[in-house]
Amino acid sequence: MLNILLDTDALVALTKKTDSNRQKAISIYKSLKENGVQFFLSPYTTAETVTVLSYRLSHKEAKKFLQEARKTSLPVLSLEDDTPDLADQWFFKQNKKGTSYFDCYNMALLERYGKQLNAIFSFDSVYKRNGFKTAEEII
C-alpha cells in the first residue's frame, strides 16, 4: 500500500474545475486509488485548502469542501514533541521569495515520517527541489 501526504495544491486542483493542474490531478488520483493508497494530511492542509478555495473559487464551494473533508476523517500526521522546530529548519533552508511555511511543514513531515510516507501529492516544485518524491513520480 502507498502512503501519500496530500498537499493543498492537489486538493485545489481536484476541486476547482478551471485549475491548470486539474486533469493531471485527476489522472494521478485515479492511479493512486488503483494502486491502493492511504492518504494523510498535515494538521494545516484542510484549513489552507478551505482558505485557498474561498479566495479562488467561492466561499460556498469552500464550505462544501470543508464538509466533505470532515466526513473523510483522513489520518493527520503532525510533528511530535521531539521535532517541533523541524518545520522552522526547513523554512530557513529555503531561499525563494514566497516560500510557503505550510510546504515547509509538509517537508518536515516527509522527513519525520520518511519510512512511512512514499511521496507527497503536490505540483509544487519545492518538494522535488528539496529531494522529496511526488505522487506523480511513483505511479
| pLDDT at position 80 over 90 | no
Note the pLDDT of residue 136: 97
Going from N- to C-terminal start, the domains of the chain cover 2-42+73-138
Measure the CA angle with vertex 33, ends 121 and 47; round to 5°. 40
- Residue 137: how many other CB atoms lie within 10 Å: 12
Q: If pLDDT is split at 50, 70 and 90, which confidence band does 3 have?
A: very high
pLDDT on residue 83? 84
Q: What percent of the chain has pLDDT over 70?
A: 100
Q: How many CB atoms lie within 10 A of CB 60?
A: 10
Check residue 18 and give its pLDDT: 96
